[in-house]
Chain A
Amino acid sequence: MHGDTIVALSTPPGSSGIAVIRISGPEAIGILEAMAPGAREWEPRTLHNCPLYGHGPQLLDDVVTAVFHGPHSYTGEDSAEISCHGSMQVVSAIIEEIVRRGARLAGPGEFTRRAFLSGKLDLVQAEAVADLIASETKLQTEVALLHLKGLLSGKIGMIEKGLRSKLALVEASIDFSEEDIETYDPGELETVASTYTALIAHLLQSEVAGSKLRRGIRITITGPRNAGKSSLYNALLGEERAIVSPVPGTTRDVLRERIHIGGLTYHLEDTAGLAETGCEIESEGIRKGREAAGAADLVLFVVDAVEGWQEEALEELEVHAGSNRIVVVNKADLVPGGGDTTSLSPAGEERTVAVSAMTGEGLALLRDKIFDFTTNGELSVVQGELIALNIRQGIALRRAMEALERLVAELGKNSPAEILSLELREALDACGEVTGKSAAENILDEIFSKFCIGK
């Protein structure tokens, strides 16, 4: 039942100096008051120091509290925050007492969901909070914060405003055609539609970037046996994750770990070396590795600088000709710069890097190339600001763009006003879907504020 009271630890679990516990719902303040008998009346949105008691009564901790009365709170409901000492034992005792008094543990994202449902956040902002919580890197955090501040909402709002004023002109030409009022100028309407189409197209480019920001990017390391794939894997991870040995075919299964480069999350996969083998387990490993490479956003093809380009390696590389790939010439510490292997790389100079997983030589350059070849400048900067869209926003904006494109086509056909209005309304409706508000409503208000209407 919604409208019950929820509680959760808001800071990460584990020992820390201070932990913050949040309660939200109709009983939030009552529960807290009951646990702090004798405390003076709490002024809302102000910090108060008081002891908290549990069942018994038994002193739980000396804490700092703040209470918020709905709707002036994050969730829009009555809520309270308790800053207690950060030992897990203290935290659990407090939460247990709160639950005993009628609250329940919050589900994931439940505070934000309540904030959204009570109208404290619009859809874009609610999604941004979810992103913010899930974000691991600085770049992700920045994008999420920009959304939270309503940057995307602001941009869409600007488009909506422009479209509304044009729609008012078009509608006035239908509903007030008997009166001598200014009507829409098809040329001007086309300019506006084209401008917004371009602006939305630009926003949409960041959809790809958005999905990369959220989901992370898959990189698969592949190449002949014993080229040092697992050593490279460990070197990029900065830890000994994969077992490394001079025995060919050490790696059997696909290993996967996360790394961060340039503020992005990457899922890095190590796979079994490619070779003809009679071993059933090994060939299954190779099959899985190929599958992984096929689905990856980027393939790191590792060759051994000492071994150079063997027939087998060249054939294997050919398999990945269509993929986004970087040739990594490993063991460059043994052959300076990777020798012929680098210069003769079929992938071309730009997509070939000589590294040494052992010494760390060339790894920085490899990281740069990984970032460049996985973003292609797609982490688009829209007028100097980063906007990364999620899938839902992308779909809605595409609908708006298509409506505007159709509008331009209709203008080219000299279509009548009611058809132009149809497309304008659809574009507005789609924009409203991004922010969760309907913008095509009350177009009459716009008309009346603009025109001298009335016989």
Chain B
Amino acid sequence: MEYPIIVVGGGHAGCEAALACARMGVKTLFVTIRKGDIARMPCNPAIGGLAKGQLVREIDALGGEMGLCIDYAGIQFRMLNRGKGPAVWSPRAQADKTAYHERMLSSIEAEKNLDLIEAEITAIAMEEGKARGVRTADGEEIKAEKVIIALGTFPNGLMHIGEKQIPGGREGEPPSRGLSDMLAGAGLKRERLKTGTPPRLLKESIDFSRCQVQPGDEDPAPFSFRTKKLDVEQIPCHLTWTGEATHAIINANIHRAPLFSGQIQGTGPRYCPSIEDKVVRFSEKPRHQLFLEPEGRDSEEIYVNGLSTSLPEEVQLEMVRSIPGLENAEIVRYEYAIEYDFFPPYQIHSTLESRNIPGLYLAGQINGTSGYEEAAAQGIVAGINAVLELRGKDPFVLGRSEAYIGVLIDDLVTKEIWEPYRMFTSRAEYRLSLRQDNADERLLGYAVRFGLLPREQWEGMISARKAVRRARRRLETESVTLEGSGKMRAARLLQRPGVSLEDIEPLLPNGPLGLGKKEGESLEIDHKYRGYIRRQDRTAEKLRRMERRKIPDGFAYKDIGALSTEAREVLEKFRPETLGKAARLAGVRNSDVSVLMVFLERAGDER
């Protein structure tokens, strides 16, 4: 058997990678252990959220599947940060986990260039140091030009429930051992990370009347640019809080928490601390907020967001029952923590191709990230790049000023990963431009060029953009009269805080602008942020210039005495592809950047 590309791992990264390859016209083999596990959500029953919502919109604009799936499987939609400016609005939806899986599986099965098989992969087949296919647990070898691996938490996964330890990749599933060890044997450095998931409660055992209701948005917005209208009956979530009683139980049993006893070695994420961690570190806080989220429309399980713990089972139950509304709650599934191998991403290029093993691409948690969205984003980028490389085309690398995906991957190749990496809006220095509302304007062009979306999508967006431009010109030329403030240009009036396009439109002398809802919103947002974005663009240009200065592969940092010792070490380790990336490495100072600039110039002259 032989395929141009093989994708290994049926999680969110693998799905987007496989679909991207197939849709770009490459015959692709997609290998997962069980079809029933395609696009499963082992943790949060939600897609999107702060900064993650932007990622989903970007994946969608690149022709990815995640947005369409959640639009189909969503049971509650909210636009977060509505109280802030539109640049930081983020869509989030509660997902029906089963529906999400089914929708993704059907898309994959419908893709004619994609063959889905069930198998466990235990090794990468190598030829002259390059990836040349995969080997299954049965010893069968399948050849390929490019291999993308997206193994999630499976590599040497070890689950902890209190003091119990069970090898496993996910609840009820065995870990993957061979592949991680094989890669380590081939020279890839690996380290351990840790993450966890809270207990699930039986829905009918919860007294929701003692909790606060959190409904979805009245006018829910879809994730995908391709979803014209969301027709969904929404289900509420609920809020409750821990209290003194809960904290007393935790403090009395803290010595039994593996995170505190030192039994767990891997580093957990700081943004997702266990409840015992919160109680110990922030002892002055009288209560901690918990979200009760349904696992699906008809699911009997409720996910307790905020109650990650590594305490033993009986303590978990006692703790849960000390919480208002959960007095009689029954735990369906206990919380577990999981430790797994990852391959620190200073070993990959921005294309997600391994430095050590050409032809091998790594995507998702194997690169040290956390989150379905972060995984999916890497998946689509790995897929696109594998195809481009196969065809001898230029790589696809998004800039930090272009997309959250660009920020994500740039961070991966320039930062030490100490904890599972999660996206935040504060990581994106150009976030005023990287909005959920304009992801299509930023990225749709790529999708069309790569053949991931039909040309009509692009044309539709261009004509919408033209309409917005015409409307903007009208605002700049037409004057309106507002009670109390006299006559002024419509554009100036719109600049005022609290004035919306809706307020202005009826006042325009030449009638309404005739824009759709999305276009009107985008016009308004652009207009309000204009001055700030222009300032941001100037610094972005500086960044782009630095990014254009490539550092040749194999550049000999050790010969440059003028670099500080620390900088030299970091540069040798990360081997940045550009001067911009070099400048972003921790330990590389401005003076080191100046030194590099001088040497690069000299190297350029000599060539």
Contact = CB atoms under 8 A, between A and B. Distances in A.
17 contacts: A3-B559, A3-B560, A71-B564, A114-B562, A119-B566, A171-B424, A174-B84, A175-B50, A175-B424, A414-B497, A416-B84, A418-B84, A418-B432, A438-B590, A453-B271, A454-B308, A455-B291
Nearest to B273: A454
Interface in A165-180: 171, 173-180
A413 B431 CA distance: 21
Interface string B42-72: 0000000111000000000000000000000
A416 B602 CA distance: 46
B425 interface: yes
Contacts of B586: 441-442
Contacts of A421: 426
Contact of A454 (B271, B497, B559): B271
A422 B429 CA distance: 9
B524 to A, nearest CB: 14
Contact of B591 (A119, A173, A419, A444): A119
A71 B291 contact: no
Nearest to A120: B564
Contacts of A294: none
Nearest to B284: A452
A3 B426 CA distance: 40
B494 interface: no
| 6 nearest CB pairs, A to B | A119-B564, A416-B85, A452-B282, A3-B561, A117-B562, A171-B426
Contacts of A441: 586
Contacts of B88: 174, 416-418
Nearest to A174: B88
B532 A422 contact: yes
B272 A454 contact: yes
B598 A174 contact: no
Interface string A197-241: 000000000000000000000000000000000000000000000
Contacts, number: 125
Contacts of B481: none
A49 B309 CA distance: 68
A131 interface: no
Contacts of A416: 84-85, 88
B270 A448 contact: yes
A182 to B, nearest CB: 10
A77 B305 CA distance: 55
B567 interface: yes
B578 interface: no
A379 interface: no
Given A119-B564, A175-B424, A436 B281 contact: no
Given A177-B80, A444-B424, A452 B288 contact: yes
B549 to A, nearest CB: 18
B83 interface: yes
A315 to B, nearest CB: 52
B594 interface: yes
Nearest to B81: A177
B589 interface: yes
Nearest to B429: A425
A4 to B, nearest CB: 9
Given A418-B84, A418-B85, A455 B272 contact: yes
Interface in B473-518: 497
B432 A422 contact: yes
A415 interface: yes
B426 A443 contact: yes
Which of B269, B424, B595, B599 has the most C-beta atoms of chain A within 10 angstroms of its own C-beta?
B424
B289 interface: yes
Contacts of B589: 119, 436-437
Given A418-B84, A455-B305, A436 B590 contact: yes
Contacts of B299: none
B561 A77 contact: yes
A272 interface: no
Contact of B561 (A26, A418, A452): A26
Nearest to A117: B562
Chain A interface mostly helix, strand, loop or mixed? Answer: loop
B99 to A, nearest CB: 23
A23 interface: no
Interface string A53-73: 000000000000000001100
A453 B424 CA distance: 13
B306 interface: yes
Contacts of A443: 426
Given A417-B84, A418-B84, A118 B564 contact: yes
Nearest to A445: B270
B254 interface: no
Interface string B277-294: 010011001001111000
A49 to B, nearest CB: 30
Given A174-B84, A455-B272, A415 B497 contact: yes
Interface of B: 49-51, 80-81, 83-85, 87-88, 269-273, 278, 281-282, 285, 288-291, 305-306, 308, 424-427, 429, 431-432, 497, 532, 535-536, 559-567, 586, 589-592, 594-595, 598-599
A76 interface: yes
A447 B426 CA distance: 11
A123 B594 CA distance: 12
B85 A417 contact: yes
A417 B85 CA distance: 7
A301 interface: no
Nearest to A179: B289
A117 B566 CA distance: 13
A2 interface: yes
Nearest to B290: A455
Contacts of B50: 174-178
A453 to B, nearest CB: 6
A453 B497 contact: no
Contacts of B278: 452, 454
Nearest to B278: A452
Which of A174, A441, A442 has the most C-beta atoms of chain B within 10 angstroms of its own C-beta?
A174
Nearest to A453: B271
Contact of B532 (A26, A178, A419, A444): A419
A116 interface: yes
A415 B589 CA distance: 34
B279 to A, nearest CB: 9
Given A177-B50, A448-B271, A419 B85 contact: yes
A421 B273 CA distance: 26
Interface in A62-121: 70-71, 76-77, 114, 116-119
A444 B426 contact: yes
A414 B84 CA distance: 11
A452 B281 CA distance: 8
Contacts of B591: 116-119, 123, 436
Contacts of A447: 426
A158 B83 CA distance: 32
Given A454-B272, A454-B278, A178 B80 contact: yes
A421 B428 CA distance: 12
Contacts of A454: 269-273, 278, 306, 308
A125 B144 CA distance: 57
B562 A3 contact: yes
A2 B598 contact: yes
A201 to B, nearest CB: 22
Contacts of B426: 171, 174-175, 421, 443-444, 447
A52 B85 CA distance: 73
Contact of B83 (A2, A177, A426): A177
A437 B590 contact: yes
A452 B598 CA distance: 45
Contacts of B271: 448, 453-454
B84 A118 contact: no
Contacts of A117: 562, 591, 594-595
A174 B81 contact: yes
Nearest to B268: A454
A418 B427 contact: no
Contacts of B567: 119
